[in-house]
Amino acid sequence: MNYNKKNIRDIDVAGKKILMRCDFNVPYDKKTGVITDDTRIVATIPTIRYLLDQNCAVILTSHLGRPKGEWKKENSLFSAQEKLEKYLGMPVPMTTDVLGPNTREMAANLQPGQVMLVENLRFRKEEEKNDPEFSKELASLADIFVFDAFGCSHRAHASTAGVADYMPAVAGLLVEKELDIMGGALENPKRPLVSILGGAKVADKIGVINNLLNIADTIIIGGGMAYTFQKAMGGDIGESLLDEDRLNYARNMIAKAEEKGVKLLLPVDNRITQEFSADAPYQVVEAGKIPEGWMGMDIGPETEKLYAEALQGAGTVIWNGPMGVFEFDAFAQGTNAIAKAMAAQENAITIVGGGDSAAAVEKSGLADQITHISTGGGASLEFLEGLALPGVVCLEDK
């Protein structure tokens, strides 16, 4: 995938009407629709402000949740509207329909220096189907398409890719930053490149591991997926998470890493418990020696030291996936240790690849000491796999 895409600074946007795809699909209360984490909204504000400073009329679009083509109150973007008005300090009127008479009228009347928000695009089934007519109609609202929704870039939907068939398409400042930093780390990394992979399942990270074995100098494995590797090496993992049909894959990856001269690090100890709860008493045992009836919940203190040492002197660090059940404080210790070790690498480019890892770093209070925290969950994962992202591919090349 070509990461060198035109952005809003590369073309003349002055006075133009802009159709901007944002990612306001943020954590929210499923009953009330009230947003509980507005990080992704805040991340888009610089692009909106730049366009308004250029005297553009800005039409914002997004989705929230999975309403599956039906209007649902809890999936309305009213909470995003309130946040936008707060951060922009101006009215942000929202449409009452999606590409109906109200949307068309509001878009037609929108003046330079004004901004509006279209109601949840997924209230229309055509959005996820990438329906050409729907894409064409969306495109007819404006002159230029600005894509600033990196978290949705792995989806080939009408508002992420389809509209680019009918109008000039460029990146917003957020997507530009994601492509520059993450693309640079994969294409021409400052070495040594250390990759930390966690999360629940090996299956979720197969493509990432395959790709990083060709790029990384060191790969660190933690989280639930580590137990499959431990089992593959003949260890006992008790009731820990296991991807049974990936055991051969794990063995092959260990062999492949050795063959390519990539250092592959696995936990040497684990925090284990007999019940999956926040206040369950735990023990620390050697990796691969988890007794029956016990489950691994986090990497252990010796592993924390080993992994922190592996980060010393790194040029680039990419982290995707927590080291344990970080939602429980007792089992967030390994994840926090990784966050601290990354933050301590002042000369390294440190990247956290969205989703749970981003939430963990925010929770640890170290987010401001990390070079880049991606706004993409699934998108950053596919990016690390080296896959082409539809929302990026459709943008104009520099």
List residues with catalytic annotation: 40, 201, 355, 378
Alpha helices in the chain (DSSP H): 39-53, 78-88, 101-109, 125-128, 132-139, 173-187, 206-212, 225-232, 247-260, 301-311, 333-343, 355-364, 378-385, 390-393
| Residues facing residue 272 across a β-bridge | 283, 296
Q: What is the DSSP letter of 330?
A: G
- Answer positive or negative: Cα dihedral of 203, 205, 211, 212: negative
DSSP state letters, 311-328: HTT-SEEEEES-SS-TTS
- Greatest pairwise CA separation for the chain in angstroms: 68
Which residues, at least 6 apart from 166, have a Cβ–Cβ distance to it below 8 Å?
A: 135, 136, 139, 140
Q: For residue 179, what are the CA distances in angstroms to 1, 321, 376?
A: 10, 20, 12
Q: Strand pairing of 169-171 and 282-286?
A: unpaired
| Backbone torsions φ then ψ of 353, nearest 5 degrees | -90, 65
Region class of 313: left (phi > 0), else alpha (psi between -120 and 50), else beta: left
Residue type, 254: I
Rounded (to 5) percent helix, strand, coil in the chain? 40, 15, 45
What is the distance between the alpha carbons of residues 323 and 335, in angstroms, rounded to a whole number? 5
